[in-house]
Structure 1
């Protein structure tokens, strides 16, 4: 699974360049606020295993107007640093590395 260049943003964390992307349109379950927002990250120059981060926020474009904080570069940088500490090797090909930060996510009422 690769992060497409179109719509992705570049971020530099500890001197290494990455690309990250949030789905513009939510999945059906994200739109209903049943599942939290996710974003993907990969190494910018030598893509390998993709990092998939599950946040504890609903998708910003959910259908019910449920308040959601935007995914900011500072949050992406923290997720990248945590994933690296937990064993993500972004330049080695392999299955996606999942980082679950969904603690505290609640379903829509």
Structure 2
């Protein structure tokens, strides 16, 4: 991993793009039910799975992986949404998030490998 000022710039630029995309999903889907968080985490899982199978340079990994995808997805909001939904709905939300997230990551890896 590139640990330089330019590396930090790639992460910052990617973070800016990912945060704007995340905000756009929340505006489009709404964030009261946790659906927006579920969507970004599943899409991000697929994208990261796809990224790690590609022969991309370290700057692309910093920009897209550490920057865009990391700021687009979120664990803290996921946890807060799960608690706010209550015991039954929260449990279903956690199960759906993990199931769909792992499935999306596996799909991204498979697509990236050409399987």
Instruction: Judge same fold: TM > 0.5, yes or no.
Output: no
Superposition TM-score, scaled by structure 2 size: 0.28
Report which of the two has the higher share of helix. 2
Greater C-alpha radius of gyration = 2
Provide the TM-score with structure 1 as the length reference: 0.29
**Which has the larger share of strand?**
1
